[in-house]
Amino acid sequence: MASQGALAGLTVIDLTRILSGPYCTQILADHGADVIKVEPPGGDETRSWGPPFAEGTASYYIGVNRNKRGIVLDLAGKDGQQALHGLLEGADVLIENYKPGTLEKWGLTREALDKRYPRLVHCRISGFGADGPMGGLPGYDAAVQAVAGLMSINGRPEDEPLRMGVPIVDLSAGLNAAIGVLMALYERQRSGRGQFIDIALYDCGLSLLHPYVANYFLSGKTPNRVGNAHPNITPYDTFATATTPIFLAVGNDAQFQKLCAELGRPAVAEEARFKTNGDRNRHRAELKPILEDLLRPHDCEAIADRLIKRGVPCGPVRNLPDAVNSDHAAHRGMVVEAGDYKGMGWPIKLSRTPASFRSAPPKLGEHTDAVLAEAKMPEPS
């Protein structure tokens, strides 16, 4: 029998689409919340963001919408808005990522919601917030990566700024939204009142700049791109082997000594130019070819296994299929398979109330009749 989850009994009205909001609400749903995903008649646009498709629905949508019940409402019309109010009567959380001003145009202002549903936690995810110089402007992950400075620190020094391959800003916003919701629910236990949570992609992008922003605040110097290397730690970079590259993540001097010893050259760690992390940072251009000469005769997987078991943090640079199909990913339950569904597992593992798979991502409007009947609301015409 599937676990009810830590959030069993929690009702979430999900008006979000694309990624940050659905990623947040899938986290809540995985841990037991009853998430009711409300889509417009045309559906969440990510249903068409493919290929690949399964029965006409894109993998992009499938990846972040499991364990939810799906209904269709046209919130631009009075019937849809009335139905939404019926859903909010029994809800704990409302999460939406409409452009600021949209809900207000429908009469769903913060003040109106707070007065009618005083215990409701209302989370809004937007590009830049509702006010300020960029308030109310549209924001997508890649554009925010650019304007928040993330692209400027990503990529090789000789190349142009590079977008991070995964939508890191959207995912971070989803995580921060989930954290904010849980904080507000915890506080509600004391006060009995809900509150408004303002999550902006822009804020989340800026919050991801560590350690570059800390370095800038202290030194006043504009950070440079360093490719796969770390700006503060050496060796912390990819290195060539006889097969695929290995990533060495050597965080202290003791680990560096173990690395050199395992590669058969313990004396390298005793050289004045490499003895401390500060020394190695100043001489990183000299150190890299030395380490690559020592690593080049070795198969990547084999030497990575030897080094990490010796206490040297490292890993082979794997492609995505090798990563998700690894033995340890299977051991950690990081791939979920149920019937025709296959998706990533749960990074949050609770001992008594674990996350669980209960249902595949809903078809468009699949649960409209049932959900509105539960709320004693007629289906909008």
- Convert the pLDDT of each residue in 95-119 to its tens digit: 999 999 999 999 999 999 999 999 9
- Residues 234-288: tens digit of each pLDDT: 999 999 999 999 999 999 999 999 999 999 999 999 999 999 999 999 999 999 9
**Residue 381 has what pLDDT?**
62
Q: What percent of the chain is modeled with pLDDT above 90?
A: 97
Number of separate domains in the chain: 2
**Residue 3 has what pLDDT?**
60
DSSP 268: G
**Residue 378 has what pLDDT?**
81
Residue 1 confidence (pLDDT) above 70: no
Domain check: are 23 and 102 in the same one?
yes
The answer to whether 164 and 150 are in contact (CB under 8 A) is yes
Q: Does residue 193 belong to any structural domain of this protein?
A: yes
Residue 78 confidence (pLDDT) above 80: yes
Give residue 142's domain range: 11-208+346-374
The answer to whether 275 and 298 are in contact (CB under 8 A) is no
Q: Of the residues 319, 338, 356, which one is the last residue of a structural domain? A: 319
The two tokens of residue 313 are 């943090």
Q: Does residue 325 belong to any structural domain of this protein?
A: no
Domain check: are 80 and 189 in the same one?
yes
Q: Does residue 181 belong to any structural domain of this protein?
A: yes
Cis peptide leading into residue 52 (ω within 30°): yes
The answer to whether 174 and 23 are in contact (CB under 8 A) is yes
Domain check: are 84 and 176 in the same one?
yes
CATH number, domain with residue 277: 3.30.1540.10
Domain check: are 33 and 179 in the same one?
yes
- Residues 328-337: tens digit of each pLDDT: 999 999 999 9
- Compute the CA torsion angle 174, 126, 100, 10 (nearest 10 deg): 10
Domain check: are 38 and 182 in the same one?
yes
Domain check: are 98 and 151 in the same one?
yes
Q: Does residue 229 belong to any structural domain of this protein?
A: no
Does the annotation mark 170 as catalytic? yes
Domain check: are 190 and 247 in the same one?
no
Active-site residue among 14, 34, 170, 203? 170
Q: Does residue 215 belong to any structural domain of this protein?
A: no
Domain check: are 83 and 197 in the same one?
yes
Domain check: are 94 and 243 in the same one?
no
Domain check: are 82 and 140 in the same one?
yes
Q: Does residue 333 belong to any structural domain of this protein?
A: no
Instruction: Read off the pLDDT of each residue in 73-87 and give the average, rounded to a whole number.
Output: 95
- Residues 147-189: tens digit of each pLDDT: 999 999 999 999 999 999 999 999 999 999 999 999 999 999 9
Location of structure tokens 């809540």: 28
- Residues 58-70: tens digit of each pLDDT: 999 999 999 999 9
CATH number, domain with residue 103: 3.40.50.10540
Q: Does residue 329 belong to any structural domain of this protein?
A: no
Residue 380 confidence (pLDDT) above 80: no
Instruction: Read off the pLDDT of each residue in 75-96 and give the average, rounded to a whole number.
Output: 96
Domain check: are 48 and 108 in the same one?
yes
DSSP 308: H
Q: What percent of the chain is modeled with pLDDT above 70?
A: 99
- The overall average pLDDT reported for the chain is 96
Q: Which residues contact 31 (CB under 8 A, 6 or more apart)?
A: 5, 6, 7, 348, 350, 353, 355
Q: Does residue 171 belong to any structural domain of this protein?
A: yes
Domain check: are 285 and 352 in the same one?
no
